[in-house]
Chain A
Amino acid sequence: MAESTHNTCEGLLGSLSDYIDGELGAELCRQIEKHISECDDCRIVVDTTRKTIDLVHASNTPQTGLPDDVRDRLFKRLNLDDYLKPSAA
């Protein structure tokens, strides 16, 4: 735990986002993967953090469109009433 390499819990935590986002170099990834193969707590932290981000993305997709009344009022406020045909979405 003393030195802050990627082969420690502390080192892994600092680089967690970069690792999950695929922005770490191959050598650092290798160190992290070695560490999580030996440290169950860190493996869980990596897996559950990745899953948390996946869930955020998944929960964000269904409510895509803008409510019709909100769109109507927006177009009126912007004096775009004449373009207020139904949206393609």
Chain B
Amino acid sequence: MVENLIQNISIDMLRSGDRAEFARLVDAYSAPIYRLGLRMLGTEQDAEDVLQNTFLSALTHLSSFEGRSSVLTWLYRIAVNEALMILRRGRPEVSIDDTDAKDENDIIHPTQFVDWVALPEDELLSDEGRQALDKAIQKLPENLRTVFLLRDIQELSIKDTAETLGISESNVKVRLLRARLSLREQLSYYYGERMNKEKSNG
């Protein structure tokens, strides 16, 4: 959806320093970049830092944008790096490269088999339900969360996610599966509890 906007933005005009065109680029992509920062870092202040630094960096490096990836993928890559820099300030061990892939081939085995898909949509998407989902996403380990955010929230392809993070496509797939199974597990636990409560109240 966001990707369609690229067709209206001229890379040549951006490169030639057209400020009006850059302002249009900022308006087209600032919301998804801000949301990515918010989901990765959890605070509005950090998300705003990511947002500002991403476009400042884009402005500086426009001439080196080769157009091999889409503008959005390019901006996401800058934003992910900016967000990781902020994360590492407090935790130097944070890494998303291929070297921390140990144990990643172990699949998370489901333990929750509650069938909650038939719950009404307004209950699944209630404020409380959304908070449970956000909390579950925040609880994912960093290397899984970043892949999940790019693929399932920003809706990048497997290829673009791999390119953005500089990891292999097979690694993206493994991390995505682990992230999805882990979220499913947490939501199943949450909705299972709710269904039990409703049963005992009813």
Closest to A49 in B: B184
CB distance from A22 to the nearest CB of B (A): 13
**Chain A: interface residue total (CB-CB under 8 A):** 39
Q: Check: A24 CB closer than 8 A to any chain B CB.
A: no
Let me know if A80 and B22 touch, CB within 8 A. yes
Closest to A20 in B: B180
Q: Check: B144 CB closer than 8 A to any chain A CB.
A: no
Q: Check: B26 CB closer than 8 A to any chain A CB.
A: yes
Q: Check: B59 CB closer than 8 A to any chain A CB.
A: yes
A78 to B152, CA, bound (A): 30
Give chain A interface residues in 35-62, CB to chain B under 8 Å. 40-41, 44-45, 47-53, 55-60
Among the 9-residue stretches B27-35, B65-73, B82-90, B91-99, the one with 4 or more Cβ atoms under 8 Å from chain A is B27-35
Q: A44-B114, A74-B51 are in contact. Are A57 and B152 (CB under 8 A)?
A: yes
Indicate the member of B23, B44, B114 with the most A CB atoms within 10 Å: B23
A16 to B181, CA, bound (A): 9
Q: A75-B26, A83-B20 are in contact. Are A56 and B153 (CB under 8 A)?
A: yes
Let me know if A17 and B184 touch, CB within 8 A. no
Interface of chain B, helix or strand or loop or mixed? helix
Query: Out of A18, A48, A83, which one reaches B117, CB within 8 Å?
Result: A48
Q: Check: A28 CB closer than 8 A to any chain B CB.
A: no
Q: How large is the interface on B (under 10, 10 to 19, 20 to 34, 35 or more residues)?
A: 35 or more
Q: Check: A66 CB closer than 8 A to any chain B CB.
A: yes
Let me know if B109 and A47 touch, CB within 8 A. no
Give chain B interface residues in 105-163, CB to chain A under 8 Å. 107, 109-110, 113-117, 124-125, 129-130, 133-134, 137, 152-153, 155
Let me know if A16 and B177 touch, CB within 8 A. yes
Closest to A88 in B: B27
A60 to B155, CA, bound (A): 11
Give chain B interface residues in 140-197, CB to chain A under 8 Å. 152-153, 155, 173, 176-177, 180-181, 183-184, 187-188
Q: A48-B188, A78-B56, A83-B20 are in contact. Are A63 and B152 (CB under 8 A)?
A: no
Let me know if B31 and A47 touch, CB within 8 A. no
Q: Check: B81 CB closer than 8 A to any chain A CB.
A: no
CB distance from B138 to the nearest CB of A (A): 13
Let me know if A66 and B31 touch, CB within 8 A. yes
Let me know if B26 and A78 touch, CB within 8 A. yes
Q: Check: B76 CB closer than 8 A to any chain A CB.
A: no
Closest to A58 in B: B125
- Besides the known contacts A70-B51, A78-B26, 8 further A-B residue pairs in the complex with CB atoms under 8 A apart: A53-B152, A56-B133, A56-B137, A57-B152, A60-B153, A66-B34, A74-B30, A88-B27
